[in-house]
Structure 1
């Protein structure tokens, strides 16, 4: 059996005042992480040292200047230390400019490493929008940062949980505005992009279903005309592009069917449709994957949890899954854009 080379995964530690450092340290106490990848933390050594103490982990910090210097073995935290947090001004659970600036710098450094080919993927921890604003960082979140720093356009979001994959036709829009975006052209374009995204991840079987918008997918126009006028024509156009897709499939059954292997991925039409399906399946193991970047990026799907930061309460399951998914896909990931 061919041995797959383990990839180096950069883990920017997130907002220092949040739970990112804690869940990262908890994750790095697990042998399964090292079995699948080489985790490299990008952060501040003082904050990481404090997190190790809080979670009572048997870990030693190995400060390095470049990824190839890492040991990547259980018990060692390989760390690129940006040394950018003044602990005299630091408080858990507090919005602060220094933490917002720090979080941005960890991400930027990780992106630079990925763009230089020194790491294969990023597994990101939570950042705080208010802290970014306090630091005058001109981005509201990870996606916007990555889009600009990597020179990408309109990154494509995919959720994965228990083998089920979900893409999103629309994201942060009101339901009314999202419906206006459900055009034949957009459905066709996104199905092509979703197929390309799975190719980049090395997924050979790519059978898609498109979720319906209205009850019973509109029942031929009895409960709404969106399926008849826009969604179905978009699916048929994608089929002409040789995309293996069916639908629209009623939303009350399509995710269950995908979870049981009938489809390799589902295109959710709006934010909550897919989010609810994923998080009700397994809230803690839902991992977000950002496609259309020159590198692979996975992320936990929760926030900084300022209310419990520094208290050794936060569960690390989501972070562990985030790193594992990055480790699983990274060796197969194709950085170059694909053409049909």
Structure 2
């Protein structure tokens, strides 16, 4: 079995701790083999600091599966990390980026079946000259470098009871009506429908499309966007054979009976998707990036600098991200 690869994220955050804890829970949580692209000394030092008995095994990706049962496999990067839990350091930026670069190279060249990313923080990277809005945009850039084809990443929050996708993401709520377009809704829904079928193994996926305004605009009484922007997208999708329906009032989309009628909720803005996803399963929800030529999942939380190095971070979301990455890779027919 080709293992998964984890990029180590920001070493000043909880990424190293939850990686160590995920490996320790490998038997009871049935975690599939993975290796980490990082500085081995960082994981050794963090394990010692936290009193975690985790042997670190420097190895190449092809050796990781055989070694996973007895040690945490680490495929080294060239950079060394400054080990300052809770205190982000711009000196770590080159290593953070190198770990991502090499993990993507691994998955694009079939040395790894899928990529799981530990959290990074934007500001230390920006301060070091990082020129991308965030982690996902950088992954799309790397994907295009490798494949030669442009990639449009789509965020999905996937939990045991809900898959939710925001069309617009990290923009102020006041900007959403001006930014939202029919073409964007179409592009997102097409990617979601494709990946639900090809990677999640769902035949004929059903997409419930939320309205933007209260009561989905209530026939124009509470806004025109639902009728003028969202409804035409749904009509086009249905003509293409995609089972999309709506626009639906968002306040009635997320109870149990409603969720049983669809495979993914397409939401118009960030909180419309993330609030129900996190309310239903905060510790088990996984951030999945659709639309890339490789599988990428990540925990649905950030670096948590405030608790880094204290031994209290929970690995639940990372464990869920690892499990889902393996499932998606198997569904997509990754090399065995």
Assess same fold via TM > 0.5: yes
SS of the residue 1:31 aligns to:
coil
Alignment of 1:209 onto 2:202: no
Alignment of 1:46-125 (within 5 A): 46-85=41-80, 89-125=82-118
Q: Which moved more, 1:224-233 or 1:290-299?
A: 224-233
Specify the alignment match of 1:142 in structure 2. 135
Specify the alignment match of 1:160 in structure 2. 158
Deviations along 1:33-77, whole A, 9 cap, x unmatched? 873522111111111112222343332111102334542533410
Specify the alignment match of 1:264 in structure 2. 263
* Contact 1:63-1:78 within 8 A present in 2 as well: yes
- 1-structure distance, mates of 2:45, 2:21: 13
SS of the residue 1:221 aligns to:
coil
Alignment of 1:284-303 (within 5 A): 284-303=283-302
Structure 1 position 332, deviation (Å): 1.3
Deviations along 1:122-156, whole A, 9 cap, x unmatched? 11101121221233233342112101111143211
- 2-structure distance, mates of 1:181, 1:258: 32
- 2-structure distance, mates of 1:315, 1:331: 26
Alignment of 1:12 onto 2:10: no
- 2-structure distance, mates of 1:61, 1:289: 28
- 1-structure distance, mates of 2:60, 2:184: 44
* Contact 2:182-2:232 within 8 A present in 1 as well: yes
Structure 1 position 214, deviation (Å): 1.5
Q: 1:130 to 1:188 in 2, by over 3 A?
A: closer
* Contact 1:64-1:70 within 8 A present in 2 as well: no
Structure 1 position 32, deviation (Å): 5.1
* Contact 1:221-1:228 within 8 A present in 2 as well: yes
Q: Which moved more, 1:233-242 or 1:188-197?
A: 188-197
- 2-structure distance, mates of 1:322, 1:55: 23
* Contact 2:208-2:266 within 8 A present in 1 as well: yes
Q: 1:90 to 1:112 in 2, by over 3 A?
A: same
Deviations along 1:209-246, whole A, 9 cap, x unmatched? 00121121112122222112221121111111111111
Root mean square deviation of aligned Cα: 2.1
Alignment of 1:181-260 (within 5 A): 181-201=179-199, 202-257=201-256, 260=259
- 2-structure distance, mates of 1:164, 1:213: 19
- 2-structure distance, mates of 1:259, 1:324: 26
Alignment of 1:25 onto 2:23: no
Provide TM-score, normalisation by structure 1: 0.90
- 1-structure distance, mates of 2:138, 2:58: 26
Structure 1 position 185, deviation (Å): 3.0
Provide TM-score, normalisation by structure 2: 0.91
Aligned residues: 328
SS of the residue 1:266 aligns to:
strand
Q: Which moved more, 1:117-126 or 1:145-154?
A: 145-154
- 2-structure distance, mates of 1:35, 1:333: 20
Deviations along 1:138-181, whole A, 9 cap, x unmatched? 33421121011111432111110113111121112222322123
- 1-structure distance, mates of 2:46, 2:125: 21
Deviations along 1:64-117, whole A, 9 cap, x unmatched? 02334542533410111225225xx53222221222221111111100101111
Q: Which moved more, 1:130-139 or 1:280-289?
A: 130-139
- 2-structure distance, mates of 1:147, 1:11: 17
Q: 1:334 to 1:140 in 2, by over 3 A?
A: farther
